Amino acid sequence: MKRVFTKIFDNYVSAIGTTEVQNHAALSWLLQEDIEVIAAVINIQSAVPSENDGFSSCVVELSQVGLFAQNGTIMSGRAGEGWNTTPAGIQSTNCNLAMVFESGMAIPVREEGYLHINTEAIGKTAGVSLFHYTVTVYYIKKGSR
């Protein structure tokens, strides 16, 4: 039986203004040994719905590259929220994604390599939208399969 380890990334993204803002390598993990990523989960939720007209969104990606939307992205997810004054209403679209590789498949990451969390957010014309995310990486140590 193989031992499966986890690494959890947990943080918030603020969406302010109507211009897309990318946060490269918002969180990073420098590996101390060779690993194989066998699964990952991304959860993104609107933490504090903003009662201002418009729509906001947040993208969170797990990547081997510390730049948003580049080759080396392992997975990404998007969440959003919207508010309308007349008729009054708010909606949230949360993100819950899971990716599991079949037996024998994995993404190798070498010792002294990195895994990064990159984000992108766009807000409304007024106010701040806050999104909470958790990314869980499931991995085994290289050669333990």
pLDDT in tens, 112-139: 999 999 999 998 888 788 999 999 999 9
pLDDT in tens, 36-92: 999 999 999 998 776 777 889 999 999 999 999 999 999 999 999 988 776 767 788
pLDDT in tens, 8-28: 999 999 988 888 999 999 999
| Domains contained in the chain, number | 1
Distance (Å) of CA 55 to CA 26, 78, 97: 23, 13, 22
**Structural domain range at position 19:** 5-141
Question: Which pLDDT value is given to residue 4?
Answer: 94
CATH number for the domain including 92? 2.60.120
Question: Which pLDDT value is given to residue 128?
Answer: 84
pLDDT tier for residue 143 given thresholds of 50, 70 and 90: low
49: preceding bond cis by omega (within 30 degrees) = no
pLDDT tier for residue 31 given thresholds of 50, 70 and 90: very high
